[in-house]
Chains A and B, each alone.
Chain A
């Protein structure tokens, strides 16, 4: 009898963590199930069910339309090109901004985050102002072209690649690369064989998110491409909000989901092969000075090792990013009678002849309060998911479950904001679920969008932790909670700063779902900007620009603070 006791104890020891992990997975799954899957399915169901029966004639109609296939092609082309370019340009940016030291780095880091949250309606106007015939870049002939759309997508998503890859890069142990160098490998070779493979999961992670953002971009595609260049997403928006053709919208949503699921599956396969334990540091490695020039053997100055990366980054930051942003900034100071701060002063008002229900500052406060709720929700849900996803269980079934979960949590990025917004309205309409007038509905909708970003930011770091560390800790007698605290904890805390920053930024900038759900007496900053720019009059336009500058500064500040919380020991912040 007594001999059974030790075995019993091991069993119970194994059961408790399993239970804990199930609970850790259950809470976020319940959240995403209730606030994402349910409303989306409810709306799709409405489109596919006619008079109580499933009506699939719409499927054939939509799938045989040449327009659908053209849009599908454009969607894929836009997603692929946008993410490829964002990665090609963003990786050198990550290197320059996170591994090199130069005067003004802190400012540039804050600056490159700004595009990520700017309202598309404002950026669209800024881009078109540059590109329109007779505009500063009108000679390029890009107005209304596919190239303009892709450029704008890179503009929006470059920050994401720089932050995600840079965050990983600065914590990579530099010694393997140094070893390769001291064994005689030239810098490019050391980079390709040592550093690049180590960064691959972070790059793949960023690329997957950027692909989803590009393939489902909607506002900027409408503004820059009209309906000639559309995506499945813009078509869903038109069919839902303009024609109320839920049947077509539902079929298109399913098509989009299939595309997104395919892309996710592909990226998960690519990632899985590359992901391995890395030597990470909890603190960022000290950055080295930027080497722009070196002295050649003859004593002449030659381009240094960082020259290419620095040049690429300079071109992107000064050209692609600064162009539209400076257009916004400069025009926000232009008044009917010259230059001045008039538009900023009127931010305390509700606009010339009362365009708004609240002043821009009040809307800013609303945005910040909503962002706090959305961030707390997204970070709690996202971190739990990342912890679950970072485990490598031995049983194949459990591994497959984790793989499926990994793709599922990304889906909110692949479903249109219109579907989520409209879905909320019809799904939460009665009984205890009547959330339509609840102040929580906006933060919840925004958190749904932010969760995948939190997961993709935290997860690469957690997965890079050598599982042997955890095993060793467990072997030495640490309980699962202790292992989590001492092994995963420090990395989690560092990764969390970035995740909080992203979640906050997403919430500050979200417009699609928010515009359907926000209450008029408590609009968010992007909603107010949209409203201002929808009115005639130079004053309203100027105020919209000034408000966008406020939004941009707010974002840059929040991202900087989030980075600072990670404890950058160079102490530049």
Chain B
């Protein structure tokens, strides 16, 4: 029998040496801790606090150019997706998170304005019709559409669906995966597309038909696109997925034709706005930043960085977008005020209808 106590006394580091080692290691690591690396001078008038949704990004150098031209130092805050962003702005309106906001979309624009989160300012460079309630300036737009796996349909010898109505056709049973409007912003957009297409009275019946035709609902875009969809990385079972009109451009490889496409009759138009926050410390800087977002370099940078179309007609889009990521000619639309008034009840009705 093994007796534990007679085990050979291996060379042991004493507890003290271990502690000392740990302490030294901690101190060493402490030297590279985050404490003390922050910017100490916070309420400097030259600082511009920019609040964005978590998808905001611009090419290297653009923000630096802005800082150099204006003399402001930009600090970014990105507290979540468009919905979470607006909700946090509402929560913190007495002590605003920053000076200027980018990333409020048309599904949440009216809530932000109604809650008094924004100052009155629209950019003089705004696109025609590209402002909302005198407080928001449109920066970019994009379409949320059903994407289709071309290869799957070719192999199955089935014509691809075209319209929203087609999706309820029994031939396309069990082929579609969408996301939940309560937990995903494309999901909400698609719900709004059906409201725009079938009206405030008709959309519920449409969803009942989709449900009966085997639509699958998952909570997040990544889940639908990478697990259930057959056309991308996931090689999942379903050839129809809710995504963006620009998604097919990301699937194109050097060899061969685009493996996926967007059904342009199923789209909802998303517009993303910027505005000056009420109670901003740096109002001049905030206004300059809104104008900056509408400058040609930024507008032309947006497609490559954020998969959205610039809002200014003259701004160039990357080669290939005309072919692989065109905007829908006639997207479904719902007015922001109508969305704001009904969004929560619509989501509740949708949940009862589709999930039961």
Q: Which of A206-214, A365-373, A389-397 contacts B (4 or more CB under 8 A)?
A: A365-373
B95, A429: Cβ atoms closer than 8 Å: yes
Contact call A357/B34, Cβ cutoff below 8 A: no
Q: Which residues of A contact B304 (CB under 8 A)?
A: 353-354
* Contact of A356 with B236 in the complex, beta carbons under 8 Å: no
Among B34, B49, B97, B182, the one with the most A-chain Cβ atoms within 10 Å of its Cβ is: B34
Q: Which residues of A contact B42 (CB under 8 A)?
A: 434, 437
Q: A286-B2, A425-B92 provided; 13 other pairs, C-beta below 8 A?
A: A227-B180, A228-B356, A242-B87, A331-B233, A336-B253, A373-B33, A373-B34, A425-B79, A494-B15, A520-B54, A520-B56, A540-B250, A541-B226
Q: Tell me if A515 is interfacial: C-beta within 8 Å of chain B.
A: yes
Any chain A CB within 8 A of the CB of B35? yes
Report A517-538 residues with CB < 8 Å from chain B CB: 517, 519-522, 531, 533-538
Bound complex: CA A132 to CA B230 (Å): 12
The reply on A146 being an interface residue by CB < 8 A is: no
CA distance A482 to B102 in the complex (A): 59
User: Judging by beta carbons under 8 Å apart, are B219 and A223 in contact?
Assistant: yes
Which A416-461 residues sit within 8 Å CB-CB of chain B? 422, 425-426, 429-430, 434, 436-440, 442-443
- Give A421 Cβ to nearest chain B Cβ, in Å: 8
Q: Are B223 and A569 in contact (CB under 8 A)?
A: no
Q: Within 8 Å of chain A (Cβ to Cβ): is B307? A: yes
CB of B7 closer than 8 Å to a CB of A: yes
On A, residues with C-beta under 8 Å from B are 46, 121, 124-125, 128-129, 132-135, 174-175, 178, 222-223, 226-228, 238, 240-246, 282-283, 285-286, 288, 331, 336, 353-357, 366, 368-370, 372-373, 376, 422, 425-426, 429-430, 434, 436-440, 442-443, 489-490, 493-494, 496-497, 500, 515-517, 519-522, 531, 533-538, 540-542, 565-567, 569-571
Set of chain B residues within 8 Å of A515, measured between Cβ atoms: 54, 80
B251 touches A429 (CB 8 A): no
Q: A223 to B23: give the CA distance in the assembly, Å.
A: 41
Taking a contact as CB atoms closer than 8 A, the residue among A288, A536, A570 that contacts B250 in the complex is A536
What residues make up the interface of B, taking CB atoms closer than 8 Å to A?
1-4, 7, 10, 12-13, 15, 18-19, 21-22, 26, 29-30, 32-35, 37-38, 42, 49, 52, 54-57, 59-60, 75-80, 83-84, 87-88, 90-92, 94-95, 97, 111, 180, 182-183, 217-223, 225-228, 232-234, 236-237, 243-244, 246-247, 250-251, 253, 304-305, 307, 344, 347, 351, 355-356
Quote the shortest CB–CB distance from A513 to chain B (angstroms): 11
Contact of A531 among B19, B34, B54, B228 (CB under 8 A): B54
The 6 closest A-B CB pairs, nearest first, are: A537-B250, A429-B95, A439-B38, A286-B7, A536-B247, A520-B76
Can you list 11 pairs linking A and B with CB atoms under 8 Å apart? A226-B218, A242-B87, A243-B347, A425-B79, A439-B34, A489-B15, A515-B54, A517-B79, A519-B78, A537-B232, A541-B233
B18 x A493 contact (CB < 8 A): yes
Contact of A569 among B12, B33, B243 (CB under 8 A): B12
Is B351 a contact partner of A440 (Cβ separation < 8 A)? no
In the bound complex, do residue A536 and residue B232 qualify as a contact, i.e. CB atoms below 8 Å apart? yes
Contact yes or no, B18 A429, CB < 8 A: no
Bound-state CA distance A534–B179 (Å) is: 13
User: What distance in Å separates the Cβ of B250 from its nearest Cβ neighbour in chain A?
Assistant: 4
**In the docked arrangement, what's the CA distance between A270 and B281, Å?**
55
Q: Are the C-beta atoms of B226 and A429 separated by less than 8 Å?
A: no
- The reply to whether B30 and A244 contact each other, CB–CB distance below 8 Å, is no
Residues of chain B lying within 8 A (CB to CB) of residue A372:
26, 29-30, 32-34
Which B-chain residue is minimally distant from A241 (CB atoms)?
A: B84
Known: A240-B87, A439-B35, A520-B56. Is A129-B234 also a contact (CB below 8 A)? Answer: yes
Contact between B79 and A516 (Cβ–Cβ < 8 Å)?
Answer: yes
Query: Which residues of chain B come closer than 8 Å to A571, judged between CB atoms?
Result: 10
Contact B10 A241 (CB under 8 A): no
| Chain A contacts for B218, CB-based, 8 A | 223, 226
Which of A125, A240, A434, A567 is B18 in contact with, Cβ under 8 Å? A567
* Beta-carbon contact of B57 and A376 below 8 Å: no
CB pair A493 B19 closer than 8 Å: yes
Partner of A226, one of B7, B18, B219: B219
Give which listed residue, B30, B75, B77, contacts A376 with CB less than 8 A.
B30
A residues less than 8 Å from B10 (CB atoms)? 569-571
Nearest A residue to B43 via CB reads A434
In the complex, the answer to whether B233 meets A542 with C-beta atoms within 8 Å is: yes
Check A174/B4 contact, CB under 8 A, given A282-B15, A567-B12: yes
A245: chain B residues within 8 A (beta carbon): 344
Residue of B nearest to A418 (CB): B84
Candidates B38, B77, B90, B351; contact of A227 at CB < 8 Å: B351
CB pair A537 B251 closer than 8 Å: yes
A129 to B251, CA, bound (A): 20
A501 to chain B, nearest CB (A): 12
Contacting pair B26 A376 (CB below 8 A): yes
A185 to B12, CA, bound (A): 34
Roughly how many angstroms separate A436 CA and B98 CA in the complex, as a whole number? 10
Q: Report the bound CA distance from A457 to B21 in whole Å.
A: 21
- Minimum CB–CB distance for B337 against chain A, Å: 17
CB within 8 Å for A133 and B237 given contacts A227-B219, A242-B182, A519-B76: yes
Closest to B356 in A: A228
Q: Is the CB of A238 within 8 A of B183?
A: yes
Chain B hits for A517, CB < 8 A: 79
Identify the closest chain B residue to A243 (Cβ): B344
Contact partner of B217 among A46, A226, A366, A429, CB < 8 A? A226
Tell me whether B57 and A356 are in contact (CB under 8 A): yes
A216 nearest CB across to chain B (Å): 17
Give, as a whole number of angstroms, the nearest-CB distance from A330 to chain B.
13
Query: Known contacts being A121-B222, A537-B250, is A241 close to B38, with CB within 8 Å?
Result: no
